[in-house]
Structure 1
Amino acid sequence: MPAPDPWSAKPAPPTVDPQVARELKRRVAIELHQQLAQLTVSQGSEVDRATRRQRGRALIEEAVARWSDAFAQSHGVAPTREQDRALAEAVYDLLFRAGRLQPYLDDPEIENILINGCDDVWISRVHQPLSQVPPVADSDAELIELLQDLARQHGGGERSLNTANPTLALRLEGGMRLQAMTEVTPRPYVAIRRHRVASATLADMVDLGTVDSTIAAFLAAAIRARKNVMITGTQGVGKTSLLRAMAAEIPPDERIGTLESEFELWLHTLGHLRQVVPMEAREGNGERIDGKPAGELTIGELIPAALRMTLSRIIVGEVRSAEVVPMLRVMTNGEGGSMCTLHARGPHMVVDRIAELCLEYGSHMTDALAYRLTANAVDLIVHVAMVDETALGGRRHRFVSHVMEVTGLGEHGRPALNTVFGPRPDLGEPRAVPHTPPNCLDDLRRAGFDAGLLQSGYGSWAAPLSLRIGGAR
């Protein structure tokens, strides 16, 4: 076996002393603040983000050059150009980006970053189990300072992390979502999730194995037929990616509204839809008035205003609490075609999960009313599942396991469910294949769906899903 070519190996990036980077960041931040204050006074308006970063980059280059000269005088040897460049990037990341977290955020193969204190950091890459990586800060206090910097950069309302606000949720550059907790935990804990499929279509979902071409055609017709759809599943299975792909089937000139805790759908930036009103909830500032955080605006409170924006559809990124009631009312009273996602472990738990959230709406809400709202509002439930075999040397399989039609109230006043697509355990197939034609089939046919696709008991899958345990082998 030939020896590896030493010239072809990619050199490791120069190491950076984090204490030096932090000290330079502190100096640059002071000088930048002074320059920006003078510039704001002279031009009579706030300095924009691009100018702030451009000025910061110039100050960083000057600060690194001064430090490099001082290092050469005291040590008798000058840092290399690569070392200076790495230090400048580290200072820039600390000042404007995510500091020592940034390399993990820049790696497109990383799906999750889990931080259990500054020195206990784990990442998961595509189709790989969790692995531990070096610390992202030298102390928990420095980690909290980093999170506070990210909150200030967020620009989406008053978000902070401190004793008064012990939790922080925000979006990062590139659409990643961060959730952090401190004070209520022994150390600061952080979870960062990446949506690897940023602008997917249903055709992309077929390529990824999330759906087959039969389900893709069915869902596309459901959107065109203005069916109200709820996408369910556990965390990290791909609900948002599927929602984004289904939204790509909405006619481009329809006026829609998106409501999210943190922007993740980005339908207003992807270009397909030309009439999108994006709305993001706002956290309170820590003070409480009548038991509510001052300045807070929840998704549920945004929905009434959204209804006055002449929207043909409303899409809620994730229903988590009492906003489920106004969402169901939108689905019931609107033109149809609204969508949302909901956390649920199994498809047959969805109805009770909706009822649980409805009961948070107020004391006048009952199970019977929640069931009636659900039966009147929701047309289809699309459940996404995941089988993770990375610990066995396999991969993560994300796929739609069920598409269920809500057909009105059934026995005991509960919504009746018709399994249109579901798994076939007898064939070793956990993915959704045709089961029972929907009651709304004529509506879908009018929207261009070929009903003959439902005749195959195997769907359009080439073969049953290959799993290391269970399924086809």
Structure 2
Amino acid sequence: MSVEPMDRLLGALVDPKVARELKRQVAADLHEQLSAQDGVTAGAGVDAANQRQRGRALIEEAVARWSDAHAGAHGLAPTREQDRALAEVVFDLLFRAGRLQPYLDDPEIENILINGCDDVWISKANQPLCQVPPVADSDAELIELLQDLARRHGGGERSLSTSSPMLALRLEGGMRLQAMTGVTPRPYVAIRRHRVANATLGDLVALGTVDSTMAAFLAAAIRARKNVMITGTQGVGKTSLLRAMAGEIPPDERVGTLESEFELWLHTLGHLRQVVPMEAREGNGERVDGRAAGELSIGELIPAALRMTLSRIIVGEVRSSEVVPMLRVMTNGEGGSMCTLHARTPHMVVDRIAELCLEYGAQMTDLLAYRLTANALDFIVHVTMIDETGIGGKRHRFVSHVLEVTGLGEQGRPALNTVFGPRKGGVDGQGRQIWSEPRGVPQTPPACLDDLRRAGFDAGLLRNPYGTWSAPLSLRVSGVQPGGMGGAA
């Protein structure tokens, strides 16, 4: 039987209507107090920690008044535990994420999916989705909560309303939120956590994402200043791998990161001494020449980034026409830049890049997109997930392919060399069953092997056909026949 977090148990002691009313009272008192101090704008010149400290004191006073009033009206005073629980819930409503907060605080939760206030689902590592209690009493209250979160984000341009029906932001603790309203029948929210927030390549070896052979290869590729694109579907661990590979960049290099919402946080992790973090800016809802006023896209940030004397540029996720300036940076720069891209299979990546390039403008063609790709990229690293939680198994996330881009090939498309890829099972020359391996294992040495050797890579590691995986991936469903070495757990 699972044990509920204490905060959630205490939350069950609280009447949500009472908590909301106290939150409004404290918010008004805090606004009045800060306005009296600052004269013009409430909170100007008062940092967030100071505001929270003042808010905490006002909450304690408000709860004490409510407790006295409740005792007078009902002849029974609330317990100290109930008062403490009420104060915590009011604090969460005022300064954090309200009734969502216990789920944000649970490190095991990977996804929170909200389809209206009373249809809420969570998923934990290696567990299927499960439904949980409502996070608000009405959709209007849920929207109010989201608007509060947007206000606290620090970017005044981020909001949720009929004129701005979509909201994207990063929450405290590293979770990413995407919300929609107005264009959907109810407010819909998806919140995702990067569970591996500060992992190195060595940590990913321990987690089974890569083996030590591939970790050494990827580290050498970064040191050799190869341009890398990490691909895969949503939630497979692209950002975690990108962050781990960035840990191989020499600490004194000056690096720029460009993201729609900060997720990499290379400027806070401490390994790199000079990071210029840039975050795209949403518009304010007013349309000027077909776009929101004040909007700044990643593609528009790239030219300014190039004037910041950066040795490498890292784009957290390429989603649209910014792929063209990104590829040009990779082509014209010193090398060593990285980005991520959504793609279902590694062999779809080239066409996916071409699709995004065509959004750049009428002057772009498939052939030009292919040429840009061939000239810019050195490696495509594809991350795969096999999810067997529905049949009692686990979620397995791992690098399945490392493809080298070796210039233009047939029909003007980029030529790809499979350096690491899955290996099918079978029978060896002595009649022994060979396991089937979906994870990336050495296939063909890269054309740039000498560059990697100069960066410290041991080419002998590529001679082992199964890399340094110690055993087959433990799958409940595999391609190996009964009696083989791979297969069911």
**TM-score after normalising by structure 1:** 0.97
Among candidates 25, 36, 39, match of residue 38 of structure 1: 36
When the two chains are superposed, the root-mean-square deviation of aligned CA atoms in Å is 1.5
Aligned-residue offset at 1:463: 1.1
For residue 346 of structure 1, what is the aligned residue in structure 2?
345
Question: Do structure 1's residue 377 and structure 2's residue 376 form an aligned pair?
Answer: yes
State the number of aligned residues.
466
What residue ranges of structure 2 are gaps of 5+ in the alignment? 426-434, 480-485
CA 1:126–1:80: 2 relative to 1, 3 Å: same
For residue 456 of structure 1, what is the aligned residue in structure 2?
464
How do residues 300-319 of structure 1 correspond to structure 2 at under 5 angstroms? 300-319=299-318
Is contact 2:8–2:102 with CA below 8 Å preserved after alignment? no
Question: Do structure 1's residue 432 and structure 2's residue 431 form an aligned pair?
Answer: no
Question: Do structure 1's residue 442 and structure 2's residue 440 form an aligned pair?
Answer: no
What residue ranges of structure 1 are gaps of 5+ in the alignment? none
Aligned-residue offset at 1:47: 1.5
SS of 1:398's equivalent? strand
How do residues 44-83 of structure 1 correspond to structure 2 at under 5 angstroms? 46-83=45-82
**TM-score after normalising by structure 2:** 0.94
For residue 103 of structure 2, what is the aligned residue in structure 1?
104
Q: Deviations over 1:369-428 (max 9, x none)?
A: 000000000000000000001111111000000000000000000000000000012232
Is contact 1:113–1:124 with CA below 8 Å preserved after alignment? yes
Is contact 2:259–2:317 with CA below 8 Å preserved after alignment? yes
Aligned-residue offset at 1:156: 2.9
Aligned-residue offset at 1:12: 4.2
How do residues 83-94 of structure 1 correspond to structure 2 at under 5 angstroms? 83-94=82-93
Work out the CA distance in 2 between the residues paired with 1:448 and 1:410: 29
For residue 430 of structure 2, what is the aligned residue in structure 1?
none
Work out the CA distance in 2 between the residues paired with 1:118 and 1:10: 20
Work out the CA distance in 2 between the residues paired with 1:39 and 1:93: 25
Is contact 1:177–1:193 with CA below 8 Å preserved after alignment? yes
For residue 432 of structure 2, what is the aligned residue in structure 1?
none
For residue 17 of structure 1, what is the aligned residue in structure 2?
15
Partner AA of 2:473 in structure 1: L
CA 1:138–1:10: 2 relative to 1, 3 Å: closer
Work out the CA distance in 2 between the residues paired with 1:194 and 1:347: 24
Is contact 2:122–2:129 with CA below 8 Å preserved after alignment? yes
Is contact 2:224–2:451 with CA below 8 Å preserved after alignment? yes
For residue 238 of structure 2, what is the aligned residue in structure 1?
239
SS of 2:135's equivalent? coil
Is contact 1:157–1:282 with CA below 8 Å preserved after alignment? no
Work out the CA distance in 1 between the residues paired with 2:122 and 2:237: 18
SS of 1:322's equivalent? coil
Q: Deviations over 1:4-24 (max 9, x none)?
A: 9xxxx9994352110000000
Q: Deviations over 1:119-154 (max 9, x none)?
A: 000000111000000000000000000000000000
For residue 392 of structure 1, what is the aligned residue in structure 2?
391
Aligned-residue offset at 1:46: 2.3
Is contact 2:67–2:77 with CA below 8 Å preserved after alignment? yes
For residue 220 of structure 2, what is the aligned residue in structure 1?
221
Aligned-residue offset at 1:41: 2.6
Question: Which deviates more, 230-239 or 10-19?
Answer: 10-19
Aligned-residue offset at 1:464: 1.4
Partner AA of 2:27 in structure 1: A
Work out the CA distance in 2 between the residues paired with 1:195 and 1:63: 37
Work out the CA distance in 2 between the residues paired with 1:389 and 1:45: 51
Among candidates 461, 468, 473, match of residue 476 of structure 2: 468
SS of 2:466's equivalent? coil
